[in-house]
Amino acid sequence: MTNILRRNHVTDHAGPGTPVLYAHGFGCHQDMWADITPAFAGRQRQVLFDYVGSGRSDPSAFSVQRYCHLRGYAQDLLEVCEATGLTRDVVVVAHSVSCSIAMLAAIERPQWFRHLVLIGPNPCFVNDPPYVGGFERSDLQELLELMQRNYMGWADFLAPVVASDSDTSRARLRESFCSTDPVMAKTFAEATFFADNRADLPRVSTPCLILQHARDALAPLAVGEYLHAHLPRSTLQVLDVTGHCAHMSHPHLVIEAVRGVLKD
């Protein structure tokens, strides 16, 4: 247990209410939830963590073999749950690729999870007509080549795409991108952008709240509609937000949505 807590730099805030587990997106870390957690302090138990290779996780635990696929990150999430005793009635608040990771975890251990709150989910970033994921495969390959050639230039390019309507969010994202080891970041990037979890959606029995950004280059509106159509127990809520990070740019909207789930 201690090894997992240290490995994933787990932060555990006590509270009497339903436990909430926060799962960050690619290139990010648990501090990205700093505008959300104060709203539930002292009321809910809140657990935050960093995936191996992100934030203040233990870099010695990183393995390309494990983390070249989203199932490796889903295993991190499940092991954090087990190490902290979160094996019942857990609400997961997940951002971006963590939405797919959380769904994979919920498929494996459905009895552990009460609800998934999915912020900007995208089960497949690659366009596959008639499915619109947002990117051509060649565009993503060029992005990863830029990452390998000029990591700082890649961070400068991607941060405003992800957080297009918030200068503060852009700065926080760029800082987070730049603090991540390039080799570990590339492994996570490939696992993120070339994953295709569309076939997994019908297997998710946990109720899901899809928080879709109205104008999001990384997860177009059509993606949210696709998820709503293919997740058996889902609700779709479109947020009037430009960008991909409502929990940072418009935290009050995410807080309101999570409160609604906790009241159910």
Instruction: Match 């992005």 to its residue by tokens.
Output: 143
* Per-residue model confidence as pLDDT tens for the chain (264 residues): 559 999 999 999 999 999 999 999 988 899 999 999 999 999 999 999 999 999 999 999 999 999 999 999 999 999 999 999 999 999 999 999 999 999 999 999 999 999 999 999 999 999 999 999 999 999 999 888 887 887 777 777 776 777 665 556 666 766 766 567 778 888 999 999 999 999 999 999 999 999 999 999 899 999 999 999 999 999 999 999 998 999 999 999 999 999 999 997
Token pair for 67: 């983390």
Sign of CA dihedral 112, 115, 121, 124: positive
- What integer pLDDT is reported at residue 176 of this predicted model? 64
Distance (Å, whole) CA 144 – CA 142: 5
Give the rounded distance of the alpha carbon of 23 from its chain centre: 5
The verdict on whether 31 is a catalytic residue reads no
- What integer pLDDT is reported at residue 19 of this predicted model? 98
- What integer pLDDT is reported at residue 83 of this predicted model? 97
What's the pTM value of the predicted model, to 2 decimals? 0.94
List 164, 166, 216, 249, catalytic entry: 216
List 9, 29, 115, 244, catalytic entry: 244
Distance (Å, whole) CA 15 – CA 187: 35
User: Is the Cβ–Cβ distance between 90 and 109 less than 8 Å?
Assistant: no
- What integer pLDDT is reported at residue 149 of this predicted model? 80
Distance (Å, whole) CA 110 – CA 205: 7
* Residues facing 196 on adjacent strands: 124
Number of domains comprising the chain: 1
- What integer pLDDT is reported at residue 2 of this predicted model? 59
The verdict on whether 176 is a catalytic residue reads no
- What integer pLDDT is reported at residue 162 of this predicted model? 72
Distance (Å, whole) CA 59 – CA 41: 30
Distance (Å, whole) CA 52 – CA 76: 8
- What integer pLDDT is reported at residue 168 of this predicted model? 66
Residue 249, classed as helix, strand or coil, is helix
The CATH number of whichever domain residue 15 belongs to comes to 3.40.50.1820
Query: Pseudo-torsion of CA 230, 263, 166, 122, nearest 10°?
Result: -10
User: Beta strand 11-13 with 44-48: parallel, antiparallel or unpaired?
Assistant: antiparallel
Largest CA distance in the chain: 49
- What integer pLDDT is reported at residue 166 of this predicted model? 59
The verdict on whether 216 is a catalytic residue reads yes
Q: Which domain holds residue 131?
A: 2-263
List 57, 96, 166, 176, catalytic entry: 96
- What integer pLDDT is reported at residue 185 of this predicted model? 86
Q: Nearest 5°: phi and psi at 112?
A: -85, -25
- What integer pLDDT is reported at residue 110 of this predicted model? 98
Residue 17: how many other CB atoms lie within 10 Å: 13
